[in-house]
Amino acid sequence: MKHVCLLKRLCGPVLVAVVLLLPLTAAVDSYAGATGYEDVMSGFDEKGASAANAPAAGEDEGLAGRLDLSGEATLSSVWNVAHEKPDPGQTDYRGLSRLRASLDLTLEAKFTDTWGGQVSGRGFYDFAYHIQGHDEFTRDVLDEYEDELEFRETYIEGKPAPGLDIRAGRQLVIWGNSETFRVTDIINPLDSRDPGLVDIEDLRLPVCMIRTDYQWRNPSGYYDLTGIVIPELRFNKTPVYGNDFYPFDMSLPHEEIPGQSFENSEYAMALKGVFPHWDFSLYGAYYYDNESYMEKTGVISYPIQLPDNSVIWQTVDIYERWHSRLWMTGLCVNYAVGDWLLKTELARSDGYQYANDDGRKSQTRGLAGVEYMGFTDTTLTLEFMQSVLNGYDHDMGEAPDYADSSRFDTAFRFTQNRMNDRLELVFVAVVMGMEAEDGLIERLSAAYDITDAFTVTGGCIFYQDGDSVLNDNIHDNNRVFMDLTYAF
């Protein structure tokens, strides 16, 4: 494992060097633009547009002309502003909690007029743990938050016949139209290690899949039929033991990941219709729940000696974390009228399992939302989501399930662009529970484009406690943040 340790030690300095040196590549980038790379590769920016943007028949661009490299280098910092001085021996969460240098790279390639692909990766190293001292944190926190290197959207795609598109590899599939909640959007897991810090569009984790789309048109509208097979099983990333969002005093049990096989693959289908002023989507999926449940796998007994030297035996249940196999059917409808967009989603998933119940349960989720774009450069979004656990039993609300029989959530979002779109202001509030009894998250941010390539983003985020065990003591986690991003 020596080479792994060496890689981890080099990861941080290399990323910082790249972040600082990338501006020097602007000249190279300008040269690439002059050669027409962007025009050549733009055909693969949107599915189905490759043929229209392909070079004329017989034109030979060479290998360099069929490649395009882009990416972002970011230095991200977060400060915790509400934690109090801890007791001796406990983690000190005050002050700097993130000083992360990250790099996203995407290499797009065009093989023929109708076939292409891309390789995308992301890596980061967080210097905050080195500055604060590794001894302050648990092994779980250091493993999950200090550094990471992974492939992002990496795939091959093509158009083998008119109206038919195929894409194979790691990718993102977005179902539904909600800005905040997940009703029908169940394909990709989420990276929720830092709740509320970024929008859901930046949280999705790509998974390896084979996706086929067939599109056709008729006088009434446009249709898209999608079939998906997902052999790679990835699940949500959540706060771990030792993180200030983790609510328990010990690590969670072992997580059992289903093996990759034909039987364990996930399957999904969708039919989308787009018409003047409105569209609809029908969804169906056979998949694994991205969140785990506790499965009792055994019991251990150990002796306890009493003051009178007698011995009694104590038993403790042994659990593992498993993932339920679910069926989901869903519907999404959007309707545009004037400056308003009305949207609704409805889904039912069957097959949820719980430690305190022997049967399988179903969950129904519904969303109603509205977007208003009548003010200049401003968008207002209001969404309501209701979820109901059908067949709920009181025991399911106890440990280790902590399940809710029903829940009502509200999200409000304000987005405004100013100074010729150089400045973007965003305010997001997520109210969990009818009267915020399960918690509240508020985030205010401003992103300013210093140049076309440099963007500085700053803001703050506030958490309010709730009755839910997961949000019982999150008010200490209020944060301010600032990011500097260079895009190329």
Helix (H) or strand (E) holding 67: strand 67-80
Element (H, E) at 463: strand 454-464
**Using CA atoms, how far apart are residues 379 and 259, in angstroms rounded to an integer?**
44
Helix (H) or strand (E) holding 61: none
Q: Of all residues in the chain, what percent are helix, strand and coil, respectively (each to 5)?
A: 15, 50, 35
pLDDT at 16: 45
pLDDT at 60: 58
Report CA torsion sign: 430, 431, 433, 436.
Answer: positive
DSSP string for residues in 334-366: EEEETTEEEEEEEEEEEEEEETTEEEEEEEEEE
Using CA atoms, how far apart are residues 261 and 233, in angstroms rounded to an integer? 10
> In the prediction, which pLDDT does 163 show?
95
**Which pairs from 460-467 meet CB under 8 Å and 24+ separation?**
461/196, 461/197, 463/196, 463/439, 464/436, 464/439, 464/440, 465/439, 466/432, 466/433, 466/436, 466/437, 466/438, 466/439, 466/440, 467/433, 467/437, 467/438
CA distances from 94 to 131, 137, 144, 361 (A): 13, 13, 19, 42
Q: What is the pLDDT of residue 59?
A: 53
Q: Find all residues with CB under 8 Å of 348, minimum gap 6, and list them.
A: 328, 329, 330, 362, 363, 364, 365
Q: Would you tell me how many other CB atoms lie within 10 Å of the CB of residue 299?
A: 9
Q: Write the DSSP assignment of 367-386 as a string of letters.
A: EEEEEE--STTEEEEEEEEE
Q: What are the DSSP E strand ranges found in 189-231?
A: 207-218, 221-230
What string of DSSP letters covers 35-54? TTHHHHHGGGSSTT-HHHHS
Exposure string of 93-123, with b = 16+ CB inside 10 Å and e = fewer, is bbeebbbbbbbbbbebbbeebbbbbbbbbbb
Q: Which of 427, 447, 475 is nearest to 84 (CA)?
A: 475
pLDDT, position 89? 81
Show the tokens assigned to 320. 């593992």
Q: How far apart are CA 328 and CA 284, in angstroms?
A: 6
Q: Retrieve residue 86's tokens.
A: 């801890």
Using DSSP, state whether 68 is helix, strand or coil. strand
What is the structure's pLDDT at 336?
A: 97
- The torsion angles phi and psi of 469, rounded to 5 degrees, stand at -60, -30
pLDDT tens for the chain, 488 residues: list them. 444 444 444 444 444 444 444 443 333 333 333 333 333 334 334 444 444 444 444 455 677 788 999 999 999 999 999 998 988 888 899 999 999 999 999 999 999 999 999 999 999 999 999 999 999 899 999 999 999 999 999 999 999 999 999 999 999 999 999 999 999 999 999 999 999 998 888 999 999 999 999 999 998 899 999 999 999 999 999 999 999 999 998 899 999 999 989 899 999 999 999 999 999 999 999 999 999 999 999 999 888 888 888 888 888 899 999 999 999 999 999 999 999 999 999 999 999 999 999 999 999 999 999 999 999 999 999 999 999 999 999 999 998 999 999 999 999 999 999 999 999 999 999 999 999 999 999 999 999 999 999 999 999 999 999 888 778 778 889 999 999 999 99
Phi then psi dihedrals of residue 8, to 5 deg: -65, -35
Q: What is d(CA 189, CA 203) in angstroms, rounded to the nearest whole number?
A: 8
